[in-house]
Amino acid sequence: MNIYSRLSKFNSHEQAVIKWQYNLNGSFYTALWKAISMADDKNLDKLSAGFPIEVEGYRLYTRQHGWWESVQDRLFPERP
C-alpha cells in the first residue's frame, strides 16, 4: 500500500507534514516548506496567516515530543 492511499486516515496537519517529509509536494509546497522550516517565530506567525495548516503541522513536528513518531507508527503499522 502506498502513502497516498493511507493519507485519508490522518488529519490535515498530519497529512501536510507527511507530504513534506516524504517529498510528495509539488514545487510550490516544496518551496513553502523550505520557507517554513527556515522561519523564526515572528515569520512563522506571518506565514500562518496564509498557511495555518502547514505552520501548525510544522510546530507540532518540531515542538511536541513524540508527535512525528506517533504519526509514523500509524502510517506504517506493519513496521516493528
For 30-54, the pLDDT digits (tens) are 999 999 999 999 999 999 999 999 9
Q: Is the pLDDT of residue 79 over 90?
A: no
Q: Is the pLDDT of residue 1 over 90?
A: no
Enumerate residues 6+ apart whose C-beta is below 8 A from 14. 57, 71
Cα–Cα distances (Å) from 37 to 1, 4, 17, 56, 62, in that order, read 29, 23, 11, 12, 9
Sorted by where each begins, the domain ranges of the chain are 12-75
Q: Is the pLDDT of residue 67 over 70?
A: yes
